Amino acid sequence: MNKLFFVFVAIAAATAGLLLSNHLGPAPKPVVDTDATVFQTVRPLPEMALVNHLGLPFTRQSFEGQWTLLFFGFTHCPDVCPTTLFLLSQVQKATTDLPPSQQPKVAMISVDPARDTPEKLAGYLPHFGEDIVGATGEIPRIQALTASLGVAYSYTPDGKGGYTVDHTASIFLISPRAELKALFTTPHDLETIVRDFEYIVESYDD
C-alpha cells in the first residue's frame, strides 16, 4: 500500500515538473563554469604598430574578423613557449569542426624583440603550425600592448653571458572585434581550453 502511494507521488511530481517546465518555456542554456576568466565588459585592444613575421604591419585591425588565441613569448625559450605553442596548435586541431568563422587563429607576440626579428619568427613559428602569426617591434610599442593586457616581462642574465626572459604565460582570447574576451591562466590544459573556447565563441553575439 505504502509502495503504491510513493509511486503515485512520484508520478504526480514528475507530471507537475513537466507542466511547470512547459509553462516556463525551454530550459535556459546551461551556464558553464569556465576555467577561463571571461570578460563581460567590452575591453578593446589598444591601437598598436608592430610588424608580423612576414615583415608586414601588425595592428589592432589584424585581430579583426576572427578569434585569436594570443600568447606572449620568445624564441630562445626551452620549455614554456614551445609547450604553449604546441598546445595552441592542438587547440586549433581540436576545433576544426567549428564553422570557419569560429576557428581560432594563433598569434605569438615576442617579448624579446632584440633577438626575435621577423625573420627569426618566420623560421620558428611554422614548426608549430603553418598559420601561426608572429609579431615583434620596438620595446615601447610592445610595452604599450603588454601594459594594457597586464602582461609582465623582465630580462634575467642566464649566467652564461646571455639572458632569459621571465614573462606572463597566460593565453588571451581576442574576439573578432579586437576585444579581450577571456584569459586562460597557467597551468594550461588542452581539454579545458577547448571546452571554454567553444562555450565562449558559441555564446558570443556578433
Partner 1 sequence: MMTRIQTLMVLLLMVIACSGPDNTRITDSWVRLPPPNMQMTAAYLLIENPSSEGITLISATSPSIKLIEMHKTESNNGVATMVQQEQVTIPAKGMVSFEPGGLHFMLIGFNDDLTEQNSVSLTLNWSDGTSSVVSAKVLRGKP
Q: Which is nearer to partner 1, 73 or 137 (CB)?
A: 73
Residue 79 found at the interface with partner 1 (CB under 8 A): yes
Site for partner 1 in 29-58 (CB under 8 A): none
Please write down the long-range contacts of 137-142, taking CB distance under 8 Å and 24 or more positions apart: 137/48, 137/49, 137/50, 137/51, 137/58, 137/113, 138/113, 139/113, 141/48, 141/49, 141/50, 142/50, 142/109, 142/110, 142/111, 142/113
- State the nearest-atom distance from the C-beta of 183 to partner 1, in Å: 9
13 phi/psi in degrees, rounded to 5: -65, -45
Q: Exactly one of 76, 115, 141, 177 binds partner 1 (CB under 8 A); which one?
A: 76
Report, in angstroms and rounded to the nearest whole number, the Rg of the chain calculated over CA atoms.
23
x-or-dash string of contact with partner 1, 138-157, rule CB under 8 A: --------------xx--x-
What is the enclosing helix (H) or strand (E) of 48?
none
In single-letter form, the type of residue at position 189 comes to D
Choices 4-12, 19-27, 163-171, 172-180 (CB under 8 A): range interacting with partner 1: 163-171
Number of residues that bind partner 1 (CB under 8 A): 28
Residue 105 found at the interface with partner 1 (CB under 8 A): no
Of 162, 161, 180, the C-alpha closest to 171 is 180
In sequence order, the β-bridge partners of residue 181 are none
Residue 188 found at the interface with partner 1 (CB under 8 A): yes
DSSP state of 39: -
Q: Exactly one of 61, 101, 186, 203 binds partner 1 (CB under 8 A); which one?
A: 186
- State the nearest-atom distance from the C-beta of 72 to partner 1, in Å: 10
- State the nearest-atom distance from the C-beta of 87 to partner 1, in Å: 8
Contact residues toward partner 1 (CB under 8 A) are: 75-76, 78-80, 82-83, 86, 90, 123-124, 127-128, 152-153, 156, 159-160, 164, 166-170, 185-188
